[in-house]
Amino acid sequence: MNSHPVPPGKHPLWKWPVFLLALLTEAKSFRDNPIIGSRVLNRLGLHVIRVVIGHGVLRFRWLLLSPWIDREDRKSFYQQGYIVKENILGEKDLAAVKEIFQENLPRFRQMRQGDTITHLLLLSPQQLCSTPELRTLIDNRIYLRLQRFVSGFFLLPWLHFLRIENGIRSNETEDPQKVIHADTFHPAMKSWLFLDPVTSDKGPFTYFPGSHKLTWHRLKWEYKRSIQAGNLKDGYSEKGSFRAYPEDIEELQLAAPKEFTVPANTLVIANTFGFHCRGKAEPGATRDAIWGSGWRAPFLPLPLPDGRWMRELFHYMMIKFLGN
């Protein structure tokens, strides 16, 4: 199948209203949407406008949800772009979750990126509610409230079993997730509840503190990159997940990166508009986690309420998307 982008003039007319409406969503591909990828419109500020509005809307939702979490957690998140909490589960609950994790390994989907294999299993709301060992996750107020705050929604985040297996074959290309990048143009939530200790040889999650802030340096960089994005060929920047290289780090004036080498039972939640990557790892090293991802709707002004019908709808959508 031909995966090359279609020239703008070749898109059928019926698709253009879809491309236009996509501006009101989390759509980010400069390659696949000729409006988002338009050099002329981005020279006029289209991408930067979406960035600024997306951040303003999330700021408002965070303000509404701020009473839910402690002041120190809010301070860490606003200043650094992440929250770290140790000892989230009791010892018996952690052991039970790890046992369920191991039992489900044969059901994990596998995705290879360079020399890394990602093993992933989506946990449905029904499974979370009906499995006593997993019920401890959604009954844990700190665990859920922090993720709901960072995502800006009351909705239950999508939770997954996750295993990262590093350095499978030495002759493979490098894992693209080990390249410094931002996930998208607006604030977004990802979380990791690490089930075992994460050491520096396991490819720890690495984050540039403060890189989530919408500074003048970041806005200028986003503006310039948006004009070039349609012609970039790294496989990700042209799809809206901008990669950053040493010269970009210098231009953005980022702080030194922080590697999250943490003990087992530690929760790390990050705003992945900030720059981050997987750290370097020894061949064969693995790390296990409960991985969370928040619902992305950057231009909705109010937090969506939680509800069974909404959880089931989103679960159905994720099954269709992941093929799980």
The C-alpha atoms of residue 257 and residue 280 are separated, in whole angstroms, by: 13
pLDDT of 317 strictly over 70? no
List the domains of the chain with CATH numbers.
9-297+304-322 (2.60.120.620)
In this prediction, residue 155 carries a pLDDT of: 86
The pTM assigned to this predicted structure is: 0.89
In this prediction, residue 32 carries a pLDDT of: 93
In this prediction, residue 239 carries a pLDDT of: 94
In this prediction, residue 316 carries a pLDDT of: 52
The C-alpha atoms of residue 221 and residue 127 are separated, in whole angstroms, by: 43
The C-alpha atoms of residue 73 and residue 49 are separated, in whole angstroms, by: 29
Q: Which residue has the tokens 């989907």?
A: 109
In this prediction, residue 88 carries a pLDDT of: 96
pLDDT (tens digit per residue) in 26-74: 999 999 999 999 999 999 999 999 999 999 999 999 999 999 899 999 9
In this prediction, residue 311 carries a pLDDT of: 53
pLDDT (tens digit per residue) in 61-99: 999 999 989 999 999 999 999 999 999 999 999 999 999
Question: Which backbone phi and psi does 182 adopt, to 5 degrees?
Answer: -115, 140
Largest Cα–Cα distance of the chain, in whole Å?
60
